[in-house]
Amino acid sequence: MKRETLINLLEKFGRRYPEVLGIDLSEGKDENVFKWFLASVLFGAPITETSVIKTYNCFKKYNVLSPKRIIETGWDGLVKILDEGSYTRYDFKTADKLLEVMQNLMEKYNGSLCRLHKEALDQHDLEKRLKDLGKGIGNITIGIFLREMRDIWVKADPAPTNIVVLTAKNLGIVKETGEDDLAQLKRFWLKNKVEGNSFANFETALLRVGKGFCRKRRCAVCHFKAECLIHEVH
């Protein structure tokens, strides 16, 4: 990938989701980590980015941004917020999920995700503990959440999602060499990193391109078709 292409990729698609939502993770404060976790749960469903942002802002509007407030709001109140945010397709299921997860988070870790991280033995135990909060917390949600926590939590280092790997392969960044996908992505970024951006910006950009173009095979209108190996084949 040419350097100007990487810069263009980051400029167009690399804005991190916490930044879009006004969540400051830089100091790793528990309340802000939780806000990002809530957003990650919302992003975990197959729903548009616009709908997730709108829904998160509805939680913000009603100040339902902590485990305690979510439990106090109750199932009916959560469904109302989700519906207002146009999360209607998954409103009942998500309300159930949020209540289960928050109850477990309160009971096991006194509502603190930072405590959960502190008690985790390593990266794999961290991911297991997050999954154990509720049956609705799967690999996609964990990947979204921990992607943004890499520079905050020492045990946060999730594997890239399938859509990120797909985009990286199409652009020739990840190759079938037998080497771990994450290791290849990190090595590429270390060699080519752009000032003012982080690995999370890079990963987010790949994700957005993958969702908008690669997954849908919209090669003809993709900004990066000139460097796409799949487009060359077709």
Q: Which of 17, 2, 1, 5 is nearest to 203 (CA)?
A: 17
Residue 220: predicted pLDDT: 81
Please state, in angstroms and rounded to a whole number, the distance separating the CA atoms of residues 81 and 54.
Answer: 10
- What is the identity of the amino acid at 102? M
Domain spans, the chain: 3-15+160-233, 17-147
CATH of domain 17-147: 1.10.340.30
DSSP, res 47: -
Answer positive or negative: Cα dihedral of 168, 170, 171, 173: positive
How much is the mean pLDDT over the chain? 93
Q: Which of 112, 147, 110 is nearest to 127 (CA)?
A: 147
Residue matched to tokens 């990947």: 143
Please state, in angstroms and rounded to a whole number, the distance separating the CA atoms of residues 231 and 191.
Answer: 25
Please indicate, yes or no, whether the overall pTM of this predicted structure exceeds 0.75: yes
Instruction: Express each pLDDT in 43-85 by its tens digit.
Output: 999 899 999 999 999 999 999 999 999 999 999 999 999 999 9
Would you tell me which CATH number, out of the four given (1.10.10, 2.20.28, 1.10.1670, 1.10.1060), belongs to the domain 3-15+160-233?
A: 1.10.1670
Please state, in angstroms and rounded to a whole number, the distance separating the CA atoms of residues 63 and 165.
Answer: 36
Rg (CA), the chain: 18
Q: 212 or 62: whose pLDDT is higher?
A: 62
> Residue ranges of the alpha helices (H) in the chain?
3-13, 17-21, 30-43, 49-61, 67-84, 91-109, 113-119, 123-131, 139-147, 162-170, 181-192, 199-209, 229-233
Residue 101 CA, chain-centre distance (Å), reads 18
Residue 234: predicted pLDDT: 44
Instruction: Express each pLDDT in 176-190 by its tens digit.
Output: 877 899 999 999 999
Please state, in angstroms and rounded to a whole number, the distance separating the CA atoms of residues 99 and 106.
Answer: 11
